């Protein structure tokens, strides 16, 4: 039996701010239970829903040395859907009203404490993993500590670590003096071949340097981050580690995202019935959002954080052309005020064609995936992306830029061979994007049979966690 511990700062259903939580909450359920004992360890945030906190049971507590101070470490546990979750309790660090405070220095101290507490807790809970699987910069110090304070003794002997990069843009960077003080690590670690990066200390870099293996969330992103444009200053290191680097594309939970059983959508359907039933979702959404009720109208959805990374400057550039075309645009999300106001303005100007929903709601996102004909995702970079996988699952044709996971999961439509699951464009160019939207619209209006075949192929594709889990299983055995 292989034992694996997932260490992360968030996981569904307990706490979620982004795609990381979906991965950490969904993937452990998909491993072969006869061969793998996979458990998860998270911070016990005060801002978690009371219902989860009430279900946890107290396991133990102890005091841990962290540099020059002693800190309380409480351990709670909860079994959920067959997976054991552990929660590290410390009110000093985890009592904020959000999992990340936005104060980088404080977040670094908080997750340095968490990284050390994770390893210190293992002998106490009596779980000795073969592999500690770390996610993003918040757990970047775990592989470092494993090669430092936790080397001695039989318990940690031969334990391996994997570092998964979900988004290289976020690295946990602060000045060396502070991080040395917070972490208790000796000066030896703060050199350019270890944690030092452009005169600062970098937690994610530490994880990449010291982990036994590094993964990212798609094969294309694993290649992209070796280049200066996508590498965020770490491309040299990532190229140097390329023999121990692999991209494994994320999946989605096919029980949660299932148009046949989804209670959030207006009308359930599946791959056989979508031709008749999917349209009812569209009419209901048009009615609820005050758009012109016309089932034939080409409807494009965007569900996204409203930021530059998501390619919204391209949308801004040609928004007038998009709106004056024969289509409807539905937007859901929050983010930078310039984009929030852009969509609000066009909602006001083209009221029966554009609907700007400047908030976030899981239920509304499902309604949009089910109702729209196409889904727009023109990202500047996209490590994996989950929205395009959800739209494929719901028979909504993705229009994406060929980057990262978007390139790996959306096969571009070829009208001559009648292949593909979506539409894509290569260059980061607003008019190339506009032409791709217009091409998709042309196929929708003038070749409905081909459009329906695109949907058939998209709904038949398997991006459930099962295929990704098999690749992780192979990696665990290899290690």
> Are residues 160 and 39 part of one domain?
yes
Residues 150 and 231 in one domain: yes
Burial classification of residue 58, based on how many CB atoms lie within 10 Å of its CB (0-12 exposed, 13-18 middle, 19 or more buried): exposed
Do 220 and 153 sit in the same domain of this protein?
Answer: yes
CA–CA separation, 468 vs 389, rounded Å?
Answer: 13
In this model, does residue 66 exceed pLDDT 90? no
Q: Which helix (H) or strand (E) holds 92?
A: helix 91-94
Contact 319, 349 (CB under 8 A): no
**Pair 391, 474 in one domain:** no
Average pLDDT over every residue of 432-444: 98
Looking at residue 261, its pLDDT comes to: 97
**In the chain, what percentage of residues exceed pLDDT 90?**
95
Q: Please report the pLDDT score of residue 171 as a whole number.
A: 97
Q: Residue 415 CA to chain centroid, in angstroms?
A: 32
pTM: 0.93
Please provide the size of the chain in residues.
479
Q: Which of 12, 458, 26, 29 is nearest to 274 (CA)?
A: 458
Could you report the per-residue pLDDT of 152-204, keeping only the tens digit for each? 878 999 999 999 999 999 999 999 999 999 999 999 999 999 999 999 999 99
- 8 A C-beta contact, residue 331 and residue 387: no
Report the C-alpha gap between 304 and 364 in whole angstroms. Answer: 12
Mean confidence (pLDDT) of the chain: 96
Based on the fold, state whether residues 159 and 175 are members of the same structural domain: yes
What is the count of structural domains for the chain?
2
Q: Looking at the structure, tell me whether residues 227 and 339 fall in a common domain.
A: no
pLDDT in tens, 308-344: 999 999 999 999 999 989 999 999 999 999 999 999 9
- pLDDT tens digits, 411-426: 999 999 999 999 999 9
Side-by-side strand order, sheet with 36-43 = 57-66, 69-80, 83-89, 36-43, 2-7, 131-135, 160-165, 213-216, 245-247
Q: What is the pLDDT of residue 113?
A: 97
* 17, pLDDT greater than 90: no
| CATH code: domain of residue 190 | 3.40.50.2000
Residues 230 and 86 in one domain: yes
312 within a domain of the structure (yes/no)? yes
Report yes or no on 262 lying in a domain.
no
> Are 201 and 180 in contact, with CB atoms under 8 Å apart?
yes
Residues 446, 376 share a domain: yes
Same domain? For 179 and 71 the reply is yes
pLDDT of 86 = 98
The residues pairing with 247 across neighbouring beta strands, listed in sequence order, are 216
Evaluate if residue 112 carries a pLDDT over 90: yes
User: Could you give the CA distance from residue 179 to residue 197 in angstroms, rounded to a whole number?
Assistant: 13
| Range 366-389 average pLDDT | 97
Look up the domain containing 352 and give its range: 274-460
Residues 67 and 172 in one domain: yes
Clarify whether residues 95 and 121 are in a common domain: yes
Whether residue 107 lies inside any domain: the answer is: yes
Whole-number pLDDT of residue 152: 81
339 and 473 within one domain = no
């Amino acid at each position: 039996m292989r034992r694996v511990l997932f260490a992360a700062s968030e996981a569904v259903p307990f706490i979620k701010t982004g795609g990381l939580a979906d991965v950490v909450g969904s993937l452990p359920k998909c491993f072969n239970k006869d061969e793998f004992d996979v458990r998860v360890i998270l911070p016990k945030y005060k801002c978690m829903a009371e219902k989860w906190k009430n279900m946890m049971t107290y396991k133990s507590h102890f005091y841990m040395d962290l540099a020059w101070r002693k800190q309380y470490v409480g351990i709670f546990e909860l079994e959920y859907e067959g997976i054991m979750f552990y929660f590290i309790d410390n009110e000093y660090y985890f009592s904020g009203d959000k999992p990340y405070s936005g104060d980088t220095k404080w977040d670094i101290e908080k997750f340095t404490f968490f990284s050390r507490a994770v390893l210190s807790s293992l002998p106490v809970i009596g779980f000795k993993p073969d592999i500690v699987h770390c996610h993003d910069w918040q757990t970047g110090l775990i592989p470092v500590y494993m090669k430092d304070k936790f080397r001695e003794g039989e318990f940690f002997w031969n334990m391996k670590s994997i570092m998964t990069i979900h988004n290289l843009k976020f690295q946990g960077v602060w000045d060396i003096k502070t991080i040395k003080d917070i972490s208790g690590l000796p000066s030896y670690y703060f050199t350019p071949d270890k944690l030092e990066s452009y005169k600062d200390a970098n937690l994610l870099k530490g994880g990449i340097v010291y982990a036994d293996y590094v993964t990212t969330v798609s094969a294309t992103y694993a290649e992209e981050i070796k280049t200066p444009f996508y590498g965020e200053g770490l491309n040299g290191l990532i190229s140097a580690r390329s023999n121990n680097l692999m991209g494994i594309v994320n999946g989605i939970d096919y029980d949660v995202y299932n148009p046949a059983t989804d209670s959030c959508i207006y009308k359930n359907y599946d791959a056989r019935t979508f031709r008749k039933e999917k349209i009812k979702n569209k009419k209901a959404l048009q009615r609820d959002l005050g758009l012109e009720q016309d089932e034939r109208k080409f409807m494009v959805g965007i569900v996204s954080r409203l930021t530059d990374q998501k390619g919204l400057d391209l949308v801004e550039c040609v928004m007038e052309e998009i709106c004056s075309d024969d289509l409807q645009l539905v937007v859901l999300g929050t983010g930078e005020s310039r984009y929030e106001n852009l969509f609000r303005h066009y909602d006001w100007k083209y009221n029966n064609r554009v609907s700007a929903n400047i908030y976030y709601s899981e239920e509304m996102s499902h309604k949009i995936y089910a109702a729209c004909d196409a889904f727009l995702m023109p990202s500047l970079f996209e490590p994996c992306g989950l929205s395009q996988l959800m739209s494929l699952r719901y028979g909504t044709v993705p229009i994406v830029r060929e980057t990262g996971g978007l390139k790996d999961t959306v096969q571009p439509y070829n009208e001559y061979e009648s292949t593909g699951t979506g539409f894509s464009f290569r260059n980061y160019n607003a008019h190339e994007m506009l032409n791709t939207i217009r091409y998709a619209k042309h196929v929708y209006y003038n070749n409905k049979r081909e459009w329906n075949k695109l949907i058939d192929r998209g709904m038949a594709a398997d991006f459930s966690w099962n295929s990704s889990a098999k690749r992780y299983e192979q990696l665990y055995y290899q290690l």
